[in-house]
Amino acid sequence: MTTCRIRVTRDTPDSGAFEWVTLGKAGEVLASGSGNLAQPPVEGPCELVLASDLVLLERVAAAPSQQRRLGSALRYLAEELALPDPERLHVAAAPGPERNALCLGIVDRQWLAALLEKLSGAGLVATAAYPESLLPTLLPHTWTVVWAEREGFVRTSESEAVTLDATLQDGVPTGLRLALEQARVASSRPNALVVRCGRQVAAPDADAWSEALGVSVELGPAWHWSDAQRRPVLELLQGEFASRRGTAPWLEQLRRPALMAAVLLALASFGLALDWGAKVRERNALLEEMRAVYRETFGERATVVDAPLQMNRALAELRQRAGHVGPGDFLALIDVAADLLPSGARQHIEGLSYDGATLTVTLRPSAAQQGAALLQELRGKTPPAGYVMTPQESAAGGGLLIRLREKRGS
């Protein structure tokens, strides 16, 4: 998967000029060059790198409970830090180094809107935007200074940087002196500075800078904006400009969890399929074994449709032939009914019927007024374990029906 990055300057919306680079999956540079939006050499999704002088980076105090509610009010929060008219500002936020702080990126709103419109007309879709000043790598307790043609910037933290102008004092940028003095007052002064110069730019005198600033200064590798591989935390395409991105921010955040969920779902489905297949094979093996036992018992020419049902019926028939009385047979049911029926002359048996599973006894009370009491007495009786008795009034009137059968599953 390749990534296209475009570096824009203040003049890009008017002149159309920009630099571009295509990065491979490991961050290696596959192609690079310069172009114009009139005839762009690249197209499609791209990441924007804004020159350091286009973005003002500041830190403001904000309680954690308020940070998520600020939204469009960020521009008013940054009013005193930049332009007097909040409507001319676009402000993006990122978590600060402390819980009660926010790091802000402030851009000219009209300039950014014009740039995105120009890119869209050239077939380019900005999926992300961040300042060039947040691209250099930071070492612990160290600031990174990028110096090119007597100007540049210094990255001081994860989401903070200071733009340096061409004003020099003893060969040292005045803005760098001021940033170090502010850090000293805030007890966050770095232990060292790493100076990275632009390509084909003469390196400053590190010893002279170190003596003038009172901090260790080291020379690092040459700097080019395409060298950075990690994207900064501060994303400029927020709020009203977030909808212009190729992919919504929440979709980007959910991409990896969604991929993991899909993989887990596929693995779970595969496991269920394996388990189901094993159970199907086990069931088929048991059914085949039942068929074999049935044919072995009743002959090879026996027709097998439902081996378990046929085996149960055959077993019941063999038991009957052998004189064994099952719990659902007529004699067993009649014996149970005899124990459950009330004794005395209050009723007499009017009829018996048996359908192969249920014994139905029709009782006739000696007096019509005794029917309700007799029914209540029958309902209060508990049949032996393994049997179900259902007493009810007869539809013919005046009689009682008692249905007795073997309890299913017993």
Q: Which of 146-155, 203-212, 310-319 has the lowest mean pLDDT?
A: 310-319
CB-based contacts of 47: which residues, under 8 Å, 6+ apart? 3, 4, 5, 6, 126, 127, 128, 129, 130, 231
Rounded to whole angstroms, the Cα distance separating 256 from 77 reads: 34
Q: Predicted confidence band at 320 (pLDDT cuts at 50, 70, 90)? A: low
Secondary structure of 275-289 in HEC code, one letter for each residue: HHHHHHHHHHHHHHH
Average pLDDT over residues 80-98: 72
Cross-strand partners of 193:
143, 217
The total number of residues written for the chain in this structure: 410
Average pLDDT over residues 79-96: 70
Task: Output the CA–CA distances (angstroms, integers) from residue 5 to 2, 53, 138, 176, in the order listed.
Answer: 10, 18, 21, 29
**pTM (two decimals):** 0.57
Element (H, E) at 105: strand 101-108
Torsion of CA 265, 269, 274, 275, to 10 degrees: 100
> Which pLDDT score, from 0 to 100, does residue 69 have?
52
Sheet holding 44-50, edge to edge: 29-36, 17-23, 3-8, 44-50, 124-131
Q: Are 74 and 104 in contact (CB under 8 A)?
A: yes
Q: Which of 43-52, 212-221, 373-382 has the lowest mean pLDDT?
A: 373-382
Rounded to whole angstroms, the Cα distance separating 29 from 4 reads: 10
Rounded to whole angstroms, the Cα distance separating 46 from 122 reads: 12
Average pLDDT over residues 76-98: 69
Q: Predicted confidence band at 77 (pLDDT cuts at 50, 70, 90)? A: low
Rounded to whole angstroms, the Cα distance separating 363 from 355 reads: 18
Structure confidence by residue, pLDDT tens digits, 141-200: 999 999 886 678 999 998 899 998 877 777 888 889 999 999 999 888 999 999 999 888
